[in-house]
Amino acid sequence: MMYFREIFSPNYHALINGLRIAKLSAIENKKNEMKNLSIITPVKDSLHTTKDTIKAVAKSTVSFPYKIYNDFSTKETTKYLDKHQESLNYTLVNLEDITNTPSPNYKLVLQIAQQEAIKNESGLLIIESDVMVKPDTIEQLFKHSKELDSCGMVASVTVDRDEKYNFPYNFVKESDPEIMETSKRLSFCCTLITLDYLKAFDFRELSDEKDWFDVYISKMSRKLGFKNYILRKHTVLHLPHSSRPWKQLKYDNPLKYYFLKFIKGRDKI
């Protein structure tokens, strides 16, 4: 009888309710903690690699808000991106709804993403549309960004289909540390910029004279006292310049490439 009196007593129910609330609160706090990252992919056509990039992110072991910035792609690419938002768990931003400036609009994308990340107290992970992450890539980048000393940026090293280090990380060697601090630039292929760094440097200060900003942002990170890291063991597949096919001219037709670069002002870094 004593047992049943305890079960039905007000104190017992108060205790159970308190434990239930504490458990729900712990679950909610865990969810909030896992929201501390924003993921973006700028897209300019290259639909075949873009599809693989997005599908790879969708298979990740963790889930964070993911936005695709469509930079004046063709109707075919835009239609695909619009159609698969729900099934592949991303939000589409068509830059033609925001600006009249022709592609590339990388600076605008970085500026918008930075402000949203700061507002949400999040780091910012850039995954370009010619990169395929592995299921644990995002989880590992997020984890290391929290743990590494004075981390400003942390990147996954890029490899080809044979798992050989490739552009832009050709300088990495098998003998290098698995987690290596570097003074070299970090490409935006698959790179996380920490919230501390986002708050320290305003991307609205980026030059209007450039198209790409990974070199400058990498240098600024170190200039402001942060450290940049490469995760050598956490590789991602990179198909160089698939997201900007005309850049392949640098290897196939160098004269035409440099004509476009210097006469038409393309590829300013």
Does residue 29 sit in the same domain as residue 82?
no
Q: Please compute the mean of the pLDDT values over residues 70-74 and round it to a whole number.
A: 97
Same domain for 235 and 120? yes
Q: Is residue 266 part of a domain?
A: no
**Same domain? 75 vs 137:** yes
Residues 3 and 127 in one domain: no
Indicate whether 185 belongs to any domain.
yes
Residues 28 and 69 in one domain: no
Residues 72 and 201 in one domain: yes
Q: What is the pLDDT of residue 240?
A: 87
| pLDDT tens digits for range 139-194 | 999 999 999 999 999 999 999 999 999 999 999 999 999 999 999 999 999 999 99
Residues 10 and 54 both lie in one domain:
no
pTM: 0.80
pLDDT of 14 reads 57
Name the H helices within the chain.
2-7, 10-33, 47-58, 75-83, 106-119, 137-147, 195-200, 214-223, 249-252, 254-263
Q: Over pLDDT 90: what percentage of the chain? A: 75
Same domain? 93 vs 29: no
Do residue 18 and residue 83 come from a single domain? no
| Percent share of the chain, pLDDT over 70 | 76
User: Same structural domain for residues 136 and 167?
Assistant: yes
> Would residue 151 be called left, alpha or beta, if left means φ above 0 and alpha means ψ between -120 and 50 degrees?
beta
How many C-beta neighbours within 10 Å does residue 206 have?
19
The reply to whether 140 and 8 lie within a common domain is no
**pLDDT score of 26 more than 90:** no
State whether 29 and 40 are in the same domain: no
Does residue 5 have a pLDDT over 70? no
The domain that holds 100 is classified in CATH as 3.90.550.10
Report which of residues 187 and 241 the model is more confident about. 187
In terms of residue numbers, what domain contains 243?
Answer: 36-258
Instruction: Indicate the number of domains in the chain.
Output: 2
